[in-house]
Amino acid sequence: MPRFAANLTMLFTDVPFLDRFERAAAAGFSAVEFLFPYPFRAAELRALLDRYRLDLVLHNLPAGDWDAGERGIACLPDRVAEFQSGVTKAIEYAKALGVPRLNCLIGKTPAGVDTARIHDTVRSNLRYAATELGKAGIELLIEPINTFDIPGFYLTTTRQALELADQVGAPNLRIQYDVYHAQRMEGELAGTIARHLARIGHIQIADNPGRNEPGTGEINYRFLFAHLDRIGYAGHVGCEYKPAGTTEAGLGWLAWAKSTSASGATG
C-alpha cells in the first residue's frame, strides 16, 4: 500500500489547524503535509510533529497573497525579490521541520506582460530556488494545476512541467503529480506516472468530479494504488482532497486501499 500523508490544509477542517495534527495521528496517519507553515512558529509546529510522531513530507514556498487569490509568484517579473526572499524563508522552515521537499506554485500568468519575459522569469526563479534548496539538501517540486479550478495558471500539464524542468536543468527539480489536476487536464494517469516515475517527487490524490476522497468519483483508485505498488513508487501520497462529509467519515477508502494493495488487485 502506498504511504499516505494527511493534508492538514484540506482534512480535519472542523477544528483549528494546530489541532489537526492530533486528529491525523488518531486516524492512523504517520505523515502529514500542508500548504503553508508560515502563519505559525516553526518551533510550535515541530513540537506537534514530535508529540504525535508525524513526519512532515511537504509544504509550499510562499505563494503571494493567497486570500486575495494569488496562487504563486514565480511567473511575475516584478516580484523576483519577493520570490527569492520566500525561498530563504521556506528553507528556514524546512530545516526546522525536517521537510525533504518544497513545492513551488508557479502562479497565474500575468496579463499584458511579454510572454518571453514571463518564461525567462520562471526559469530564472526556478534555477535560483533549486540552487538554494540544493545547498540545504532539499528537493524542489513544480506542480501542474488544472485551468478549470484556477484559470490562467501558468503550468498545466505534465509535458509542460517536464519541458520546463529540462530547461532549468537542476538535478533536484522534480514534478509534483497531482492525480486530480492531471485527470482534469490530460487523463492517462497510470501510463504517465509509469513513464515518468523517476522524475516524480511526490503524488497527491483527490477524486473527480468534486475533488472529494477516493472512491467518490470516476478515478479507479483501487487500480491506481495497486499500480503504484507494482511500478515501485516509494514516495508518499498526499491526501489533498475535500471530504464529502467529515474527514473521519470518509476515511473508509483507506481500508480498501490496504486490502487492494495487499491482494494485488487491478480493479
Which residues have CB under 8 Å from 175's CB, separation 6+? 141, 142, 143, 144, 158, 161, 162, 165, 196, 199, 200, 201
- Find out whether 57 and 7 touch, Cβ atoms under 8 Å: no
Of 266, 218, 210, which is closest to residue 241 (Cα–Cα)? 210
Distances (CA, A) of 41 to 46, 108, 163, 180: 9, 29, 36, 31
| C-alpha grid cell, residue 31 | 505523515
Whether 213 sits among the annotated catalytic residues: the reply is no
* 240 is known as an active-site residue: yes
d(Cα 95, Cα 100) in Å, to the nearest integer? 9
Catalytic residue among 33, 139, 143, 213: 143
Which residues are marked as active site?
143, 240
